[in-house]
Amino acid sequence: MAIERRTIVYDGPGGPFEGVAAFDPAWDGPRPGVMIVPNVLGQKEQDNLVAERLAGLGYVGFAADTYGQGKRTTRESTDPALYMNQLNADRALLRDRLQASVAAMRALPEVDANRTAAIGYCFGGKSVIDLARAGGVLGVVAFHGIFDPPDYDYPKPIAAKLLICHGWNDPLAPPAAVTALAAELTEAGADWQLHGYGHAGHGFTDPSMKGSARPGFGYDENADRRSWKAMRAFLGELFA
């Protein structure tokens, strides 16, 4: 298996946007597409590597861009949350950019346009829950996401299936926010499941956060491994 990458520049509100697709050119016919929505920092190599891991599972991985071409931050930036905060202030724009990203993924010749999903990390976890609310994919997986609802009405029942992978010690999504999300999704008629990981906090999948001294934040090897395994089972069932 020789996984290849392709840079994808695509249109959307406030664009252009630049993502990366990963796939095996030896595949015979199109495969399900799984979009990756990045964390607070935006599209980066870490997300491209996730796309390659998904390609290794037999999917087309597409590391999407919701900020815009060239709009990225690092943890050392003066304001790492600059672009995230702009979208937090305009959830409808976030929704529209997510759907433009899904459309770009569906247009890839390697992708079966009728079999798509999305996964997201941190702000990306919040984003894919918004995508489930708005529609456009069969299912979503949120890793240590944020759970506040958008400020607009969305179609019900929610058609997309949801897997929420949550670190129980995450201060950005305390128990009250978790139960509020569960109540919202239940009322909206969604097919949802929640995996809570004890002693894990925000960013539990991110190896760059190993040894974090910030309470409730940091990498957790067990939660990372278990949540990836849960995602694999979820996608396998979704695309069966």
Its pTM stands at: 0.97
For residue 147, the cross-strand partners are none
* Residues 74-111 pLDDT 10s: 989 999 999 999 999 999 999 999 999 999 999 999 99
Query: Strands across the sheet with 17-23, in order?
Result: 4-10, 17-23, 60-63, 31-37, 111-121, 139-143, 161-167, 192-197
Indicate the helix (H) or strand (E) that contains 7.
strand 4-10
pLDDT confidence bin for 1, thresholds 50/70/90:
low
Per-residue model confidence as pLDDT tens digits over 124-155: 999 999 999 999 999 999 999 999 999 999 99
Percent above pLDDT 70 for the chain: 100
Q: Is 201 helix (H, G, I), strand (E, B) or coil?
A: coil
218 DSSP assignment:
S
In whole angstroms, how far apart are CA 190 and each of 135, 139, 181, 200? 11, 10, 11, 26
What is the pLDDT of the chain when averaged over all its residues?
97
